[in-house]
Chains A and B, each alone.
Chain A
Amino acid sequence: MNFLRKAFLTLVCALAFSLWTLAQGADEQTLLHPPSDSWPGYHGDYSGRRHSSLQQITPENVKNLSLAWAFQTNQTSLIKSSPLLVNGILYFTVPENIWAVDARSGHQIWHYVHPRSAGEHIGHRGVAMYKGYLYFLSPDAHLISLNAKDGTVRWNVQVADVTKGYWTSMAPLVVGQHVLVGVSGDFDNLTGYIRSIDPETGTTQWQWNSTPPAGTPNQTTGGMTWMTGTYDPDLNLIYWGTGNPTPVLNGSTRPGDNLYTCSIVALNPETGKLVWAFQVSPHDTHDWDAVETPVLVDGDFRGEPKKMLMQSSRNGYFFVLDRTNGKSLLTVPYGPVNWTLGIDKEGRPIPNPAKEPAPDGRLIAPDEGGMTNYRSPSFDTKNGLFIVDAHPSWSIYFAKPADGVYGWAGADYGVWGKGVIEAIDYQTGKIRWSHEVGPGGSGAGVLTTDSGLTFTGDASGNFLALDSRDGKTLWHAGSGASIVSSPTSYELDGRQYVLMSSGGVLFAWALPE
């Protein structure tokens, strides 16, 4: 009897707790330590590693992977977002649209449509969640907070002025009591910034500017904060990549390094104060944003335990930094690059002035889209490999005085490129294995799992599962459209799902029940 009473009480507590968590949504603990049945932020956890601890789908059984469900957005916009998963519900976006979808069945729970707004509709990376609320950026640079249960709007604040040329497309990052947002814009000479917003009220808490105000003599503008950063709760630092300087292809009005453009910056999330910065492309003239995921890894670096930050940057170099202080541990190209004179003593590439865009053109590797782009890489903690969808490529860059010093201020044309999934040994930069994914290149990101699988996609729209040890294909499925998103994985009811999207369709894969 006593035992039964105890069991009953335990059950009541468990049910009460589960109801409490249902009401809480993505609370601080969930964001800090995401359970396997969740994906509460853009990168999953704060590290940006996109490495799932799930092991149900293995190299041995992945050949049986089959479709659990597919969700059709019926939109021509391609899905670029990483769906959040909280309490069994997926939240994902395309510009002006959010869907809440049951992660078990793939059926729609609600669909929010934002009124057609100004600003570039180039894509949307997804929402952020804090407790029971979602945070969504619109193309006209407003941050909108919605009730996750039904998609009703709670508040709406402007984070940038679309009439000046800003827009927004990123998924915010929630850290403690801060919703961190970044801004986009390359066609005007504008200051990039990260803004911290109160999750309850929408009030601005702080703003960190990556460049001086427009019109400051001999100073750059730009440094847009296109993508979602990462966070180290122990060091209490957020890590963010900044975009290229403006004018984009003409550096004549902005002599010097152009801080803090094309940089990885570490900020205090409470104050927005800069703690350190590392510039991956001093004085960029090729539009190579450094906004690719700053991936946080703890481990040995050549025999010493290190807290590291790794980035496969758009400029063609793979960087490993000590993330406590921003000092370089490794700088090495991961494909053809021809725009530098070498690496300086701080580990920064030295741009070759002869490879700046010119009136008669310069042949440059990589191309403007870069050696990689917004798609996510993954750090495979099991094999110690940094796996990235790389894009070896060549292009021609032009700029002449008549092109002016505003916005793009030049022209560039891709000549050739291809896609290669590369597994980089983070301690040497050596490419352990590579897997060609087709002419032109693939837009798919990468997810690795503890069971030894690498999920990604090729240039023809095939979803792929590769063996993380050697890159061999173990499973594939033609998706019928371009893949321009990064896979995620979760476990519900004891079943592991891998979520991938192509075109306007979200696919959930699992082993047969």
Chain B
Amino acid sequence: MTLPRSFCATIVLLLLSAFAAAQTTSHNTPNSTSAKPRSSGEGKNYPASLVQQGAALFRQDCSFCHGRDATGGESGPDLTRSKLVAADVNGDKIGSVVRSGRPDNKMPAFDRTDQQIASLVAFIHTQQKAAQTQGGRRGNGGRKGVAPEDLQTGNADAGKKYFEGTGGCAGCHSPTGDLAGIASRFKGLELEEQMLYPRRPKSKVTVTLASGQEISGRLAYLDEFTVGLTNSEGVYQSWRSRDVRYKLDAPVEAHVDLFSKCTDDDVHNLMAYLQTLK
């Protein structure tokens, strides 16, 4: 006995129709409530409508990290104090950051039209101008800036003592060597961030090949499986880490060991000391 053919056909038809129904692509969408964008509206050099448009787009794509008023949110920097924004002319820098993202800083790329980028640029510049003219007072809701004057509570003598003693900083750094003029190169929060853990620290690596040959250079890539360096000629080379031995020279890691040992006073005192190194 076999299955009746009509039964099989019915099943096949049913399956096919379910499949066909599932193939239908839908763009059938409801109307959504649109929000009034909260914008400073102070587009002195930009048309207010462009700034408004930028504010709405900024809120959708950027505000979670950079704050609704561009003064910083969860994880993203305060754009009103950003050097890149200050140096930007009509989106020549902001545009490429938006389109390419910043993979190193976990900022994703955004696929946006020229017009949308122009509106974002108008909004960000307007916010920066507003922040400057308001003397650091920020709008509601976003993260707030840290001014250099906020970071003047430490004692420079105690900081020097920590630098030379408990902190062990003098083991690697010198106020007349690498740190000479540090307070002229970095100020305020940027100096404190550099002090706690330098951005993009340059580490060296020496790779020993199976043949015994040693190759040294600047560490360019390292994960569990691959080690890469840039040699003295600027050429990138990499190896499977299981094929070679490598030795990292990353003195910056000493900073990490200090986090659990230093107090807030130590941080403030050290900051006061570094600010004397002009």
Contact surface of A with B, Cβ cutoff 8 Å: 1, 4-5, 8, 11-12, 15, 19, 22, 75-78, 89, 100, 109-122, 138-140, 142, 144, 146, 149-153, 156, 158, 162-163, 165, 186-188, 287, 336, 338, 354, 358-363, 365, 368-369, 394, 396, 398-400, 402-404, 406-416, 436-438, 440, 458-460, 462, 473, 476, 482
Contacts and interface: CB of A to CB of B under 8 A. Distances in A.
Given A139-B60, A186-B74, A415-B259, A114 B29 contact: yes
Q: Indicate the size class of the contact surface on chain B.
A: 35 or more
Nearest to A74: B111
Given A112-B26, A140-B32, A187-B67, 19 more contacts: A76-B111, A109-B23, A112-B29, A113-B27, A117-B33, A119-B60, A152-B26, A187-B141, A360-B151, A360-B153, A361-B146, A394-B196, A404-B144, A410-B143, A415-B193, A436-B224, A438-B223, A458-B223, A482-B108
A402 B223 contact: no
A114 B32 contact: yes
14 contacts: A15-B11, A115-B32, A117-B33, A118-B32, A121-B60, A121-B61, A150-B25, A153-B26, A187-B67, A359-B150, A365-B259, A396-B192, A408-B143, A412-B143
A-B CB proximity, top 5 nearest: A118-B35, A407-B141, A151-B26, A187-B141, A156-B30
A112 B27 contact: yes
Contacts of A400: 144, 150
Contact of B140 (A149, A358, A365, A407): A407
Nearest to B112: A76
B1 A462 contact: no
B108 A78 contact: yes
B259 A122 contact: no
A409 B139 CA distance: 10
Contact of B225 (A410, A415, A476): A476
Nearest to A338: B260
Nearest to B27: A113
A153 B22 contact: no
A120 B59 contact: yes
Q: Which of A12, A360, A402, A414 has the most CB of B within 10 A?
A: A360
A57 B56 CA distance: 47
Contacts of B150: 359-361, 398, 400
Contacts, number: 220
Nearest to B223: A460
Interface stretch (B39-47, B118-126, B262-270): B262-270
B22 A150 contact: yes
Nearest to B136: A402
Given A144-B30, A438-B223, A8 B64 contact: no
B197 interface: yes
Nearest to A142: B32
Nearest to B64: A122
Contacts of A354: 264
A506 to B, nearest CB: 17
Contacts of B154: 360
B159 interface: no
Contacts of B21: 149-150
B22 A410 contact: no
Contacts of B33: 117-118, 140, 142, 158, 162-163
A152 B223 CA distance: 44
Interface string B194-228: 00110000000000000000000000000111000
B170 interface: no
A150 B59 contact: no
A398 B144 contact: yes
A120 B64 contact: yes
A403 B74 contact: no
Nearest to B4: A8
Contact of A362 (B68, B106, B264): B264
Nearest to A441: B106
A184 to B, nearest CB: 9
Given A110-B22, A118-B60, A416 B35 contact: no
B129 to A, nearest CB: 19
A77 B59 contact: no
B141 A408 contact: yes
B197 A415 contact: yes
B235 interface: no
B63 interface: yes
A110 B23 contact: yes
Given A19-B14, A187-B63, A361 B30 contact: no
Contacts of B110: 76
Contacts of B1: 1, 4-5, 8
Contacts of B32: 114-115, 117-118, 138, 140, 142
B91 interface: no
B61 to A, nearest CB: 6
Nearest to B262: A363
A114 to B, nearest CB: 6
A85 to B, nearest CB: 14
Interface in B1-37: 1, 3, 7, 11, 14, 18, 21-37
A462 to B, nearest CB: 6
A78 B143 CA distance: 24
